[in-house]
Amino acid sequence: MGAVDPRNSVPPGRVAPFFGFVAAVTALALGVSAGPLTALPGRLAELPAAFWTMAALAVVCDARPFVPPGRRQSSAVFPSTCFTFAILLGWGLGPAVAVQTVAVVVSSLRTGQAGWRAGFNAAQYACALAAAAVVTGLGPGEIFDGGRLSWGDVLAVGGAAAAWFAVNYGLVSAAIRLRFGDRWWPGVRSGLGYELISTGSLLLLAPVLVAAARASAALIPLVLVPLFAVYRMARLAVEQEQLGALDPLTGLPNRKALLTEVAEQVHLHAERAARGDQDAHLALLLIDLDRFKNVNDALGHAVGDRLLVEVSARLAGAVREQDLLARLGGDEFAILATGLTGVDAARERAERLVGALAEPVALDGLPLDVGGSIGIAIYPEHGEDFATLMRHADVAMYDAKHRNDTVAVYAAESDHNSAERLGLLADLRRVLEAGPVGAAGRDDRGVAGVRGGDGAALPAALAPTVADRPGRSTGGAARWGARRRRERPASAHPDELIDRIVTAADPLRRRAAVAGDGPQQPGEPGGTVAAEEGVDRGAGPGTPVAYAEPAGRHPAPGEVGEVGEVGEITMYYQPQVAIATGEVVGVEALLRWRHPRRGMVDPEELIRVAEQSAVMRLLTRRVVDDVVGQLAKWSAAGITLRAALNVSVRDLHTGEIADQIADRLARYGVHPERLQLEITEGALMADPRRVLATISRLHTIGVAIALDDFGTGYSSMQHLRRLPLSEVKVDRSFVLGMADDADDAAIVRSMIELAGALGLRVVAEGVEDERTWRLLHAAGCDVAQGWFYARPMPAEELATWLARYRPLRPAAREAGTRPPQAR
């Protein structure tokens, strides 16, 4: 990229303080050097040839300073430093300042610097030389007195060099600070090492040059040989560094070069923003090729490498000359687009790149279609350093992939990999590795909080006298050996996730609610809620009865769930009821994590965080252990239920879950038909071959398989015919609307008929009201679950709910419940 030196201008808002500093440094330089310069004319006649030789070499060498390749003029190395410091050691401050000033003027004319820059450079050099002169004056005597160099002289020279460097670098850094504001330190820090090596070498070469001059002035030009050697070695080192910043396959800059360029451009664009320029934005565009892995797998890595070279050439032709194209590794490329006016300009650059990748790439006569997903992060809106911009561009790129789009701009709501999420993952790992807390210390006091037919708490007057189950709290959330208390309002449901959903004012909940009948009870996560107003629903003697918790009731001591440092994982269970008979035939196991700071963690977020790491394996083990263990406890208590639990894509891909389930069933003595696994259509399509192998093993063991979220994914007759399924679950998004939407009702009926023709049991999720329940019965649905029957509840509460549950058997279809006709 073309490098433009920005140092001939000053941002408008910083003109006064900056030039005030320049004036102060200039005044200081005049003050410390006025006396020696005034005495200089009288000394010119006595200055030896060695002085004039050094002075001439200082001016000539500075006419062409050494600028390392790839760096800006501000990083140039001026050889005059060596000669003027030697003149200071040999002949004093006046001659040194005079020669340095002439060299600065010549160099400024040669490099096109503004007049104020030349004046400031001459002044800061004069101050640095004056500081060095003060240190040499603290030595034991004249430097090189009598041609002999003592240890005191060595220390004086070293101290003088250090003083020169400290004053010079300090004044320059202060000037940068006044021009760049808070952005000054990264640039100063990154350049410190380079300045120490380059300028420090020149300063320490000066005593050698003085020693040679004392022997003969003819030896002075010989210093050009080591200077040229230093120059050449430095150039080779820089070239080697440049090679290390290139991608060996495509020849493009790599991540290291991109990092350096972003740091440089951030400073330049900060200046533009301070001046009020419109083109003060830069964009980092991250490109990930689509289907590149397929090319590597099918045609080999050699063809994949050739494809990358071709793609890099296309991208290079689509970017502007002032933009930087880099390959980060694999099939990832990045473009640093500078001088933009905003997001629209960045999108325009991205669309040009998409167009460059639209045409297939022909390799050996085979056209290869390689598109790309592009994520955009804008400076300064989305970050002010390389790491932040890169991470946000990466988030945007994956957002584009998930939305099946080609271009996406970073949005904070799409950032699922924040530090907060990483902290959540760490807490999840800790709570899983700790394992469930034993029964020690659990409450065992008795009466409070018995549940009614739908899981709602019975008033104290109606509650039977039963012992409280271990770990039970009024809120219904299990306590696992908690360490600290946290009280909850009596009106809030113990399941915080449910309570959050209810407060979102779902329209179906509002329609079903009866105004003024007390607090409504929340229910199953992720859906709507039926009214639970504390009175009989009025549907006959078989209707479940719901009771509202008495207003103003506060938990008794010990009832509020206590939580540890990272909370506890527990399982809630929601009954599944045969519609025709009202019999409870099973439960669905639902994961709950009550976090001490976040409250109840959204299960979807929990799974999304865990599924991308090895923590998913620990989570699956915990869920399987808890559910199978609970089935064994229910069997011992005479409760025969089937439990369904969800499994992730990661579980189905590894196949380890089949061995784990077989082991746990044998250990607890649970019949395999008591357990059912629910898989989603998306999980099935992620890798059908491996998923089918795992499902087949589970089917052989005797574990039933259900297809969850039926109708929302990629279902086809082929999948339903090939898979060893026993059940399909109609997604709640269709069930919730079937009472009011003819299309939803028609879709649900069609799915029920299809599943019935294939001999599969049908379960409807999200049954929230009586009309939906009757419509499902009329359509021939087998099983229903939802708040119409019961909310999810901890295992110990389910036993009480079952004891009080009265089966609800639908009567013949009544007038007014006829399914609406599809349009």
Q: What is the 3-state secondary structure (H, E, C) of 147-213?
A: HCCCHHHHHHHHHHHHHHHHHHHHHHHHHHHHHHHHHHHHHHHHHHHHHHHHHHHHHHHHHHHHHHH
User: Both tokens of residue 138?
Assistant: 């603290």
Burial 182-214 (b: 16+ CB within 10 A, else e): ebbeebbeebeeebeebbebbbebbbebbbbbe
* AA identity, residue 465: T
Pairing of strands 599-600, 675-680: unpaired
Please, what is the end-to-end C-alpha distance for the chain in angstroms? 62
Calculate the dihedral angle through the C-alpha atoms of 401, 405, 409, 414, rounding to the nearest 10 degrees. Answer: -50
**C-alpha–C-alpha distance, residues 383 and 59, integer Å:** 44
**C-alpha–C-alpha distance, residues 628 and 756, integer Å:** 29
Query: Residue 288, SS3?
Result: strand
| Angle in degrees, CA 608, 789, 778, rounded to 5 | 105
User: By the 8 A CB rule, do 339 and 266 touch?
Assistant: no
**C-alpha–C-alpha distance, residues 268 and 789, integer Å:** 65
Side-chain half-sphere of 691: how many Cα atoms within 13 Å?
22
Query: Residue 287, SS3?
Result: strand
**C-alpha–C-alpha distance, residues 245 and 190, integer Å:** 17
Q: Name the nearest CA neighbour of 107 among 70, 69, 77.
A: 77
User: Both tokens of residue 267?
Assistant: 């400073």
**C-alpha–C-alpha distance, residues 486 and 594, integer Å:** 12
Which residue blocks in 459-495 are alpha helix, DSSP H?
none
DSSP state of 553: -
User: By the 8 A CB rule, do 744 and 737 touch?
Assistant: yes
**C-alpha–C-alpha distance, residues 381 and 393, integer Å:** 12
277 φ, ψ (degrees, to nearest 5)? -70, 150
User: Both tokens of residue 698?
Assistant: 């589970």
**C-alpha–C-alpha distance, residues 592 and 603, integer Å:** 7
Q: What is the DSSP string of 311-328?
A: HHHHHHHHS-TTSEEEEE
User: By the 8 A CB rule, do 618 and 648 touch?
Assistant: no
- CB count within 10 Å of CB 237 equals 12
Residue 547 burial (C-beta neighbours within 10 Å; 0-12, 13-18, 19+)? buried
**C-alpha–C-alpha distance, residues 758 and 602, integer Å:** 35
Distance of CA 94 to the CA centre of its chain: 59
- CB count within 10 Å of CB 481 equals 17
Q: What is the 3-state secondary structure (H, E, C) of 771-798?
A: HHHHHHHHHCCCEECCCCCCCCEEHHHH
Q: Which helix H or strand E contains 740, and what residues bound it?
A: none
Catalytically active residues are 765
Contacts of residue 89, Cβ cutoff 8 Å, sequence gap at least 6: 136, 143, 144, 157, 160, 206, 207, 210
- CB count within 10 Å of CB 505 equals 8
